[in-house]
Structure 1
């Protein structure tokens, strides 16, 4: 993962606070999910730094969790030697903003606003993106937008987009069950790209779980390609 993309991943989905533990940065998530509640390597680290990370997690009363880029083989070996288990493999996909921003959407199909409407908040809540995760969106500094997808005048989908380092990251893409397979997610991605282009972002990216093959297939059809990946490591339950 290149430097700008890594920085955008963090800046557009920030933890409540961070603590440095040797060569790691540890996020405090306050119940907003693994990405903001995990530790990641930010420089050279040694074995004792892993213990320092665990101590920070325990001080914050959150479960120890490491977010590890796929090519960080030394860290993977060190964590597995301690019995840590891999979970939630994730792929990062990217395209040039201009590739998606060339499609003109019919009026009333998608829009970009901030702050989010109540209907967008309800759509996220229905997809398990509740108040804690929505609070992450509020913390983001800089350009951001709530993307609304509509069908027949009804609010059908919602997504969140924010920009850092010239990269527009798209998070929390959700479509209500009654409106799935109607092109809503595709139109929201195009709308996100149109908004990002207006803000001067040259790249558009997102992270999606590797098990979500339907979403990955959609993003590939839209022209996004895999550029990086990461997974989480946590200790066996009750071991720490």
Structure 2
């Protein structure tokens, strides 16, 4: 997995509403779907004037100045830091072979895949702060995709979204209701996704996790997923009133 393949799959499986090329920049219209679909990225070296242009373009979209900084973009990172952009949400990309995760199926009726999501799954996402704008990202993904629901104690316990691009299946929007955490719900869901991904020709299963999310990192580590990439954001705070 090259960095280019990882970022291409990440975007294809969790796409912005639209993208515009502006000089060296890719400007994304996220329509409220979160940082991943709203952050600008640099396609090459940028100047101070080009940063000004990107800020204006994001303002036109009613989005704050937000840039995703990927490996090897140290100069961009320094330029943004000097302009008052704060470092936000360092993210790790964790992955494992699909066949490894699919080898052990979840227990019967503990997890299943379905598209489109059921109403109870939308309720679970709402409770986790994954509202309509983020679910709109799932709807516009044009690659093979599914939702997965976890069950625990005869109740709907969790929901997640997965999609495939270039042999890589990304799992997004993993949410487990508080009463059902630490009971294996997320593990069962990941194994169900892995079986679906294997049936659809994917070779690797990947997930994104912020560095400060110790619980999620422990979950993915328990499944044998390892760090295969990283990135962070730089965001410029609005001026004080």
TM-score (normalizing by structure 1): 0.96
Is the aligned partner of 1:181 residue 2:182?
yes
Is the aligned partner of 1:125 residue 2:126?
yes
Is the aligned partner of 1:238 residue 2:234?
no
Mapping for residues 81-92 of structure 1, pairs under 5 Å = 81-92=82-93
Deviates more, 1:51-60 or 1:126-135: 51-60
RMSD: 1.4
Contact kept? 1:90, 1:230, Cα under 8 Å = yes
Mapping for residues 49-60 of structure 1, pairs under 5 Å = 49-60=50-61
Mapping for residues 1-240 of structure 1, pairs under 5 Å = 2-238=3-239
CA displacement, residues 88-139 of structure 1 (integer Å, 9 cap, x when unaligned): 1111111111110101222201000000001111111100000000000000
Shift of 1:221: 1.1
Contact kept? 2:106, 2:189, Cα under 8 Å = no
Contact kept? 1:26, 1:56, Cα under 8 Å = yes
Unaligned 5+ runs, structure 2: none
- SS of the aligned residue for 2:35 comes to coil
Cα separation, 1, equivalents of 2:38 and 2:228: 23
Number of residue pairs the alignment of both structures matches: 240
Contact kept? 1:19, 1:56, Cα under 8 Å = no
Cα separation, 1, equivalents of 2:39 and 2:232: 11
Shift of 1:236: 2.6
Shift of 1:70: 4.0
- SS of the aligned residue for 1:35 comes to helix
- SS of the aligned residue for 2:72 comes to coil
Cα separation, 2, equivalents of 1:195 and 1:44: 40
- SS of the aligned residue for 1:230 comes to strand
Cα separation, 1, equivalents of 2:78 and 2:44: 17
Shift of 1:42: 2.5
Cα separation, 2, equivalents of 1:185 and 1:51: 43
